[in-house]
């Protein structure tokens, strides 16, 4: 196991490294499944977290990205991205094990403040590792395979997340129903398992080869100015920042909204997330292939408007008046959210790597991540602070029909609480798409041409799979065609 960067990597070394990166992704996804997402929100609510503390928890992952500057300094000083990523990941994942052991050390329930304290270090060191990892992958993964490779990696990690999320959700619901006094201990065990998986991921990274990079030796602050002077990259920063702010104003509170406002059980919430992930798994291979064939910007242009509609639709999920109606709406929203976010996340990640010069990739990508992190951090904090204000306000618009001593009311709009955030976030996200149009990407093709091409190809695939009597593949193609 060598930590020294290699001057030249053979094709066999590259392929072996790509397999190890996928293995690390699977272990890292297992770690996140046990310690993040809806489970972390449920744990915080169980501990009595306030709306502001929930906002802080949502903001921590993005806020810590601001510290990627540390990674830039370390990489320039030691010129060893692999060693920095491995060591930082060890420090990032160890706090999860500490969180798991806190109740047994102090024999009392851990407060939300203590949880936030240790999670800060988890995300901080993870951010330092992530900046080195991004630059490392920029050189390891062949440029012409970026879309295909990362879409394949995402499919595997999301598939694993589906299985783990279901298992964890049902286990937690069983414990809540039969052993409620052990609920907090269950969360503690989850953090212990998650930390263990995280350490296994570090082992996979330690075995992955690193190609030697050629870095510019300019002053650090002069280097940080270069992405801001690059007009095209500056437009990407503006789009990515405004998009991130719009989404983080609303999306971190989806789980909170379902738990507190709609009164939906955790197992249902996890099921909705799984529906979104299955939709993403079925579609991400298509997006990866088309992003390599056409451009990442085109894929974003196709997917982003659909996701904006999904955000806006969240504001109306409480209106059906029946539990079944609300569930049906949430299922539809999550199907289209999964399909669209698969293309958006893949496109935004790859376009950043593509526009960053190879010799200055870590600087460009770190500036991008730090800028986006700043706006992503502000959004949920603003949302958490304003939650109480919107909780006491309501917007109602309805038609009333009167006659023969009777009256009927047809509700058109009934917004309250978090619904206002969803409307504001959706409108702002829609506006940010105007900035996307100014970005120039090599191989860019007009959206309408790509949609026409995709529609034709997918229609033929649906017919071919149906004739071959392959119902799963046919359903996947049909879903993409409908989208």
Q: Which residue has the higher pLDDT, 226 or 309?
A: 309
The secondary element (H helix, E strand) that includes residue 298 is: helix 296-314
> 238, exposed or middle or buried, with CB in 10 Å at 0-12, 13-18, 19+?
middle
Of the pLDDT bands very low, low, confident and very high (cuts 50, 70, 90), residue 479 is low
Rounded Cα gap, residues 304 and 295, in angstroms: 14
Residue 340 near residue 303, CB atoms below 8 Å: yes
What is the SS3 assignment for 410? Answer: strand
pLDDT at position 106, please?
Answer: 59
The DSSP symbol for 253 reads G
Q: Per-residue pLDDT for 219 more than 70?
A: no
Of the ranges 18-22, 231-235, 326-330, 471-475, the best mean pLDDT one: 18-22
pLDDT tens-digit profile of 184-200? 788 889 989 999 999 99
- Classify the C-alpha dihedral 86-91-92-96 as positive or negative: positive
Q: Per-residue pLDDT for 463 more than 80?
A: no
Q: Per-residue pLDDT for 448 more than 70?
A: no
Rounded Cα gap, residues 363 and 73, in angstroms: 10
Rounded Cα gap, residues 224 and 238, in angstroms: 16
Residue 59 near residue 381, CB atoms below 8 Å: yes
Q: Which residue has the higher pLDDT, 347 or 389?
A: 347
Taking alpha carbons only, the member of 241, 257, 239 closest to residue 421 is: 257
Rounded Cα gap, residues 348 and 288, in angstroms: 12
Taking alpha carbons only, the member of 81, 66, 153 closest to residue 350 is: 153
pLDDT at position 464, please?
Answer: 67
pLDDT at position 400, please?
Answer: 67
pLDDT at position 125, please?
Answer: 93
pLDDT at position 432, please?
Answer: 86
What is the SS3 assignment for 388? Answer: helix
**Model pTM?**
0.65
Q: Per-residue pLDDT for 379 more than 60?
A: yes
Average pLDDT score, the chain: 80
Q: Per-residue pLDDT for 229 more than 80?
A: yes
Name the percent of the chain lying above pLDDT 70.
Answer: 81
Residue 298 near residue 442, CB atoms below 8 Å: no
pLDDT tens-digit profile of 308-362? 999 888 878 876 667 788 888 999 999 999 899 888 888 888 888 788 877 777 7
Q: Per-residue pLDDT for 368 more than 70?
A: yes
Q: Which residue has the higher pLDDT, 409 or 66?
A: 66
Q: Per-residue pLDDT for 108 more than 60?
A: no
Q: Per-residue pLDDT for 377 more than 80?
A: no
Q: Per-residue pLDDT for 18 more than 70?
A: yes
What is the SS3 assignment for 437? Answer: coil
Q: Per-residue pLDDT for 209 more than 60?
A: yes
Residue 135 near residue 78, CB atoms below 8 Å: no
Q: Per-residue pLDDT for 458 more than 80?
A: no
pLDDT at position 28, please?
Answer: 94
Of the pLDDT bands very low, low, confident and very high (cuts 50, 70, 90), residue 399 is low
> 226, exposed or middle or buried, with CB in 10 Å at 0-12, 13-18, 19+?
middle
pLDDT at position 91, please?
Answer: 95
Q: Which residue has the higher pLDDT, 280 or 386?
A: 280
Q: Per-residue pLDDT for 109 more than 60?
A: no
Average pLDDT over residues 50-70: 78
pLDDT at position 224, please?
Answer: 74
pLDDT tens-digit profile of 257-268? 887 778 887 778
pLDDT at position 203, please?
Answer: 94
Rounded Cα gap, residues 331 and 271, in angstroms: 9
> Residue 480 to residues 194, 292, 329, 483: CA-CA distances in angstroms?
34, 18, 19, 5
The structural domains of the chain, ordered by start, are 9-207 (1.20.1250.20), 220-375+409-445 (1.20.1250.20)
């Amino acid at each position: 196991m060598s930590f020294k960067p290699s001057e030249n990597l053979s094709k066999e070394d590259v392929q072996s490294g790509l397999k190890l990166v996928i293995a690390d992704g699977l272990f890292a996804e297992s770690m996140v499944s046990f310690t993040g997402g809806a489970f972390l929100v449920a744990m915080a609510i169980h501990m009595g977290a306030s709306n502001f503390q929930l906002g802080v928890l949502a903001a921590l992952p993005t806020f810590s990205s601001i510290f990627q500057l540390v990674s830039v300094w370390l990489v320039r000083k030691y010129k060893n991205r692999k060693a920095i990523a491995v060591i930082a990941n060890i420090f990032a994942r160890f706090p999860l094990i500490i969180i798991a052991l806190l109740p047994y050390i102090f024999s009392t329930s851990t407060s939300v403040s203590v949880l936030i304290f240790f999670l800060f270090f988890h995300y901080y060191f993870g951010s330092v590792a992530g900046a080195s990892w991004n630059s490392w992958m920029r050189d390891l993964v062949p440029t012409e395979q970026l879309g295909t490779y990362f879409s394949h990696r995402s499919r595997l990690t999301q598939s694993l997340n589906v299985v783990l999320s279901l298992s964890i959700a049902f286990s937690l619901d069983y414990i809540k129903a039969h052993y409620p006094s052990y609920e907090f201990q269950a969360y503690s065990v989850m953090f212990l398992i998650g930390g263990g998986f995280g350490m296994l991921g570090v082992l996979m990274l330690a075995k992955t080869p690193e190609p030697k990079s050629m870095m510019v030796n300019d002053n650090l602050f002069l280097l940080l100015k270069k992405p801001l002077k690059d007009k095209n990259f500056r437009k990407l920063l503006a789009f990515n920042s405004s998009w991130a702010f719009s989404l983080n104003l609303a999306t971190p509170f989806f789980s909170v909204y379902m738990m507190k406002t709609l009164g939906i059980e955790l197992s249902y919430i996890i099921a909705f997330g799984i529906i979104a992930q299955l939709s993403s798994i079925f579609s991400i291979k298509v997006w990866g292939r088309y992003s390599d064939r056409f451009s990442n910007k085109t894929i974003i242009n196709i997917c982003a408007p659909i996701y904006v509609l999904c955000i806006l639709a969240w504001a109306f999920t409480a209106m059906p008046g029946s539990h079944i109606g609300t569930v049906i709406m949430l299922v539809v929203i999550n199907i289209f959210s999964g399909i669209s976010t698969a293309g958006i996340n893949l496109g935004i990640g790859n376009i950043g790597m593509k526009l960053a010069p190879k010799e200055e990739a870590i600087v460009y990508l770190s500036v991008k991540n730090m800028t986006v992190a700043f706006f992503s951090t502000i959004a949920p904090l603003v949302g958490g602070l304003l939650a109480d204000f919107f909780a006491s306000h309501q917007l109602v618009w309805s038609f009333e029909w009167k006659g023969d001593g009777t009256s009927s009311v047809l509700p058109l709009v009934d917004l309250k609480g978090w619904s206002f955030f969803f409307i504001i976030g959706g409108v702002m996200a829609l506006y940010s798409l105007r900035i996307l149009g100014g970005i120039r990407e090599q191989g860019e093709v007009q959206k309408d041409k790509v949609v026409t091409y995709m529609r034709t190809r997918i229609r033929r695939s649906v017919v071919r799979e149906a004739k071959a009597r392959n119902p799963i593949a046919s359903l996947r193609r049909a879903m993409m065609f409908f989208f």
